[in-house]
Amino acid sequence: MHDINFIRTNPVEFDNRIKLRGLAHCAEKINKIDEERRNTQTVLQNILAERNILSKKIGEIKSKKEDATVIIKKVEKLKDQISSLKELEKIKEDELSAILCRIPNLPSKDVPVGDNEKNNTQYKIWGDKPKFTFKAKRHFEIGENLNLMDFDLASKLSGSRFVVLKGMLAKLERAIAQFMLDKHTNENGYTEMIVPFLVKDDALFGTGNLPKFGEDLFTAGDSHWLIPTAEVPLTNLVREQIINEKELPMRVTSYTPCFRSEAGAAGKDTRGMLRQHQFTKVELVSITTPEDSKQELERMLSSAESILQDLNIHYRVMTLCTGDMGFAANKTYDIEVWLPGENAYREISSCSNCGDFQARRMNAKYKGENKNNFVHTLNGSGLAVGRTLIAILENYQTADGNVEIPKVLQKYFNGQTTIT
């Protein structure tokens, strides 16, 4: 949610920055509704004050056993005005909220300007692409040839965009998740949390998924939704709270299934595990002060990168342009892992600073020296487990169709070095 005071005092800047997100100027419309709301509030406050004065007079008149009929009638008339004004005030508040809650976060001033992913810029690159003496296979070719990845069976159970992993690939996915959690909790300073996989409307509103992106979610009925990412429950841990500044930064992580309808993905990545309705992910969330959030984003990015570095898999980091960022972010880094079978980089993590955008929607604050301020929230994948499995299959494949197990994961396989 946006700060109405900022829009009121900086309408031109607001319009210019929101235009970078592909939206038309709207500050004038917002400020007009806000002015009507504030004018209504002023009139209401004046009438309430007048009613209080008259009510006091009624008491004084009655104490003298005099007739207060005229003033009583006037107070009754004021009550009707108050009721109408309160109704009008709510209408204007709802009208203002309906507009503000659908406007994406303003981009940070250091974000590259552009309309789509073609305008993203490379921030850094790590490692080297593997060199094979054979034609690299795609992950689903490897998995199906090993008889450890079954899409047809999953389709019978649940339809398209699902997979059944068997035996050593099921164990590999579990090992990847365990490695990520161990790394983030033991070395990167995150506290592991187990959170609900079902959340209410308010939680999704807080992170910015609702009301605009309901079609991308799976509903469970009774105002409950399956989480699209653990960002939702983790970030909402501070909803409607005032945190002591000494408790910040708060860094939490969780391994959960994620559920997405992929409503806008028709025809994209129809083969394999790249785009699924259900997948697993280790999520990173930080709650911090405004002064520290920029540095916290760099720290979160480094934490996510450390997983691929330990796995020794080549990747690059892209800074997303203004037109490619998510709804709630003011700055986002995408980590794109190299997939030899695809002969392409594919996103494996997004790390975003949301500033106070989500905090305002959640009413999440921290207690500073002089006043309560909105916290800043950050989130990132540390990493997407299924896509990490894909990256391992394609980068560690061998000429005979087997897959070498990365050294850092071998401890989860009792020293076994190859998936056959």
Asked which of 53, 71, 100 is the last residue of a domain, the reply is 100
Asked if 199 and 129 sit in the same domain, the reply is yes
In a domain, 228, yes or no: yes
In a domain, 108, yes or no: no
pLDDT band at 311; cut points 50, 70, 90: very high
* Residue 58 confidence (pLDDT) above 60: yes
Query: Residue 55: what pLDDT?
Result: 86
Asked if 23 and 95 sit in the same domain, the reply is yes
Per the document, the length of the chain is: 420
* Residue 243 confidence (pLDDT) above 90: yes
* Residue 219 confidence (pLDDT) above 60: yes
| Number of domains, the chain | 2
Q: How far apart are CA 103 and CA 23, in angstroms?
A: 8
Tell me phi and psi for residue 258, to 5 degrees. Answer: -130, 145
Instruction: Report the 10 Å Cβ neighbour count for 85.
Output: 18
Asked if 185 and 68 sit in the same domain, the reply is no
* Residue 70 confidence (pLDDT) above 90: no
Tell me phi and psi for residue 179, to 5 degrees. Answer: -60, -45
With beta carbons less than 8 A apart as the criterion, state whether 212 and 248 touch. no
Which of 37, 161, 251, 387 is catalytic? The answer is: 387
Query: Residue 265: what pLDDT?
Result: 59
Q: Hunting for tokens 């330990």 — which residue is that?
A: 310
For residue 214, the one-letter residue type is: G
Which of 8, 275, 342, 404 is catalytic? The answer is: 275
The HSE-up count of residue 190 (CA atoms within 13 Å, CB side) is 31
Asked if 231 and 292 sit in the same domain, the reply is yes
Query: Residue 64: what pLDDT?
Result: 78
Asked about 360 being catalytic, the answer comes back as: no
Mean pLDDT of 143-172: 97
Mean pLDDT of 226-232: 98
pLDDT tens column, 22-54: 999 999 999 999 999 999 999 999 999 999 888
CATH of the domain at 54: 1.10.287.40
Asked about 138 being catalytic, the answer comes back as: no
* Residue 144 confidence (pLDDT) above 90: yes
In a domain, 123, yes or no: yes
Asked which of 69, 100, 131 is the last residue of a domain, the reply is 100
As a whole number, the mean pLDDT across the chain is 95
pLDDT tens column, 390-416: 999 999 999 999 999 999 999 999 989
Q: Which domain holds residue 385?
A: 117-419
pLDDT tens column, 357-390: 999 999 999 998 889 999 999 999 999 999 999 9
* Residue 264 confidence (pLDDT) above 70: no
pLDDT band at 154; cut points 50, 70, 90: very high
pLDDT band at 174; cut points 50, 70, 90: very high
Asked about 271 being catalytic, the answer comes back as: no
Asked about 350 being catalytic, the answer comes back as: yes
Query: Residue 73: what pLDDT?
Result: 86
Q: Nearest-CA neighbor of 195 among 170, 171, 229?
A: 229
Which of 260, 346, 360, 361 is catalytic? The answer is: 260
Min mean pLDDT across 116-125, 146-155, 217-226 is at 217-226
Q: What is the Cα 390 distance to its own chain's centre?
A: 24
Mean pLDDT of 64-87: 87
CATH of the domain at 364: 3.30.930.10
With beta carbons less than 8 A apart as the criterion, state whether 162 and 413 touch. no
Query: Residue 369: what pLDDT?
Result: 82
In a domain, 111, yes or no: no
* Residue 75 confidence (pLDDT) above 90: no
Which of 254, 350, 352, 381 is catalytic? The answer is: 350
Asked about 261 being catalytic, the answer comes back as: no
Tell me whether strands 164-165 and 403-404 are parallel, antiparallel or unpaired: unpaired
Asked if 255 and 159 sit in the same domain, the reply is yes
Asked if 77 and 127 sit in the same domain, the reply is no
* Residue 65 confidence (pLDDT) above 60: yes
Q: Structure pTM?
A: 0.92
In a domain, 327, yes or no: yes
Contacts of 403 (CB under 8 A, 6+ apart): 142, 146, 392, 393, 396, 397, 418, 419
Query: Residue 410: what pLDDT?
Result: 97
Element (H, E) at 152: helix 151-158
pLDDT band at 263; cut points 50, 70, 90: low
* Residue 282 confidence (pLDDT) above 70: yes
Asked which of 43, 75, 100 is the last residue of a domain, the reply is 100
Query: Residue 368: what pLDDT?
Result: 84
In a domain, 249, yes or no: yes
In a domain, 382, yes or no: yes
In a domain, 109, yes or no: no
